[in-house]
Every structure is written in C-alpha cells, then in structure tokens.
Amino acid sequence: MRTAGRWILIALVALGGLVYYYVAVVRPRSVTDETQILRLIADVERAVEQRRPSEIMRYISQDYEDPSGNTYRALQRLLIGAGRAQGTLELSVQVPELEVAGDTATFAAEVDLASAGQISSEAMTHLTVTGQLRKERGRWKVVSATGWQGAEAAYY
C-alpha cells in the first residue's frame, strides 16, 4: 500500500508538472486587441506599398463610411484605380494614439508617403489619419477613416 501511494504521488506531481509546462510554455498566448489592430495597420501599410486593393479591402467593413462621403464601394473603386498606377509607394506609419473600448476602437496615425526613389522632405507627403474600427466576426475592420484623402494625388 505504501508503494502504491508513492506512485500515485509521483504521478500527481508529474501531471502537475505537465499542466504547468503547458500553461506556462506551450499554450498560445492570447493576442490583445491592441496588438491585433497594430497588425491590421501594418498589413494595410504593406498592401498599400504593394498596390494590392483586394488585400486592403479585407480590412474594410462593408459599413465603411467617412466624412468625405466615401463608402465601401467608392473606396474599392478608388483603390482599384490606384492599384493600376505605375510605380511603387513607400510608407512610414506611426500610431501614437490607439484606444480600444469593447468591440470598437479609435486610432490616430502619422503617415509619411513617397513614391519609391523619391524619399526626400520635398517629395514626401505627410498625413495624419484618424479612424474608427469595429470587431466584426472576431476580426477588426475599419468603419471610417479621415486624413488619407490627401494621398489620392500620390496614386494618380
């Protein structure tokens, strides 16, 4: 009986060690909403630089509407036209403000935009973009943004 008790104790300690190892090391960490939003912004930045309108539209809500009167469809048309333009763009995006409240969020981003090969203070366009996001089916989507409209000239 005494030997069986030791084996049970050893098994429990081993099981406890395995559970601790899983929780502390193996289990995937939950990603915060802020991290998800920053990844979204980085993904959109990359898609803009690569002129991939369909990739950008993955992050835009069907309910998109901005103060300039753009809707999801209007934005899609603008991006398709921009994607056909020649040359490449280079962006530098900084996000000094990000606030999450439940399933909604707001951000402010400082964006420097230049055509590739023309990175100088004269050729660079500086934009301050603000936006609102909403979590839709577990993914963050942009529902409104303003300040990017000044970049339209860089596309055409």
Q: What is the C-alpha to C-alpha distance for residues 125 and 152, in angstroms, rounded to an integer?
A: 11
Q: What is the pLDDT of residue 89?
A: 77
Instruction: Work out the number of other CB atoms within 10 angstroms of the CB of residue 128.
Output: 13
Length of the chain: 156
Residue 26 CB partners (closer than 8 Å, separation 6+): none
Q: What is the pLDDT of residues 88-146, one digit of tens each?
A: 778 889 999 999 999 999 999 999 888 766 555 556 788 899 999 999 999 999 999 99
Q: What is the pLDDT of residue 7?
A: 74
pLDDT grade for 60, boundaries at 50, 70 and 90? very high
Q: What is the pLDDT of residues 62-80, one digit of tens each?
A: 999 999 899 999 999 988 8
Check if the beta carbon of residue 127 is closer than 8 Å to that of residue 149: no
Q: Is the model more confident about 153 or about 136?
A: 136
Q: What is the pLDDT of residue 154?
A: 46
Instruction: Work out the number of other CB atoms within 10 angstroms of the CB of residue 133.
Output: 26
Q: What is the pLDDT of residues 2-56, one digit of tens each?
A: 676 667 767 776 666 666 666 666 666 678 999 999 999 999 999 988 888 999 9
Check if the beta carbon of residue 61 is closer than 8 Å to that of residue 134: yes
Cα pseudo-dihedral 43, 46, 51, 53, rounded to 10: 0
Q: What is the pLDDT of residue 155?
A: 44
Fold for the domain defined by 32-155 = Nuclear Transport Factor 2; Chain: A, (3.10.450)
Q: What is the pLDDT of residue 73?
A: 96
Q: What is the pLDDT of residue 25?
A: 67
Query: Among residues 107, 115, 111, 97, which one has the least CA distance to residue 142?
Result: 107
Q: What is the pLDDT of residue 96?
A: 93
User: For the chain, first and last CA: distance in Å?
Assistant: 84
Q: What is the C-alpha to C-alpha distance for residues 142 and 72, in angstroms, rounded to an integer?
A: 10
Check if the beta carbon of residue 32 is closer than 8 Å to that of residue 23: no
Q: What is the pLDDT of residue 77?
A: 92
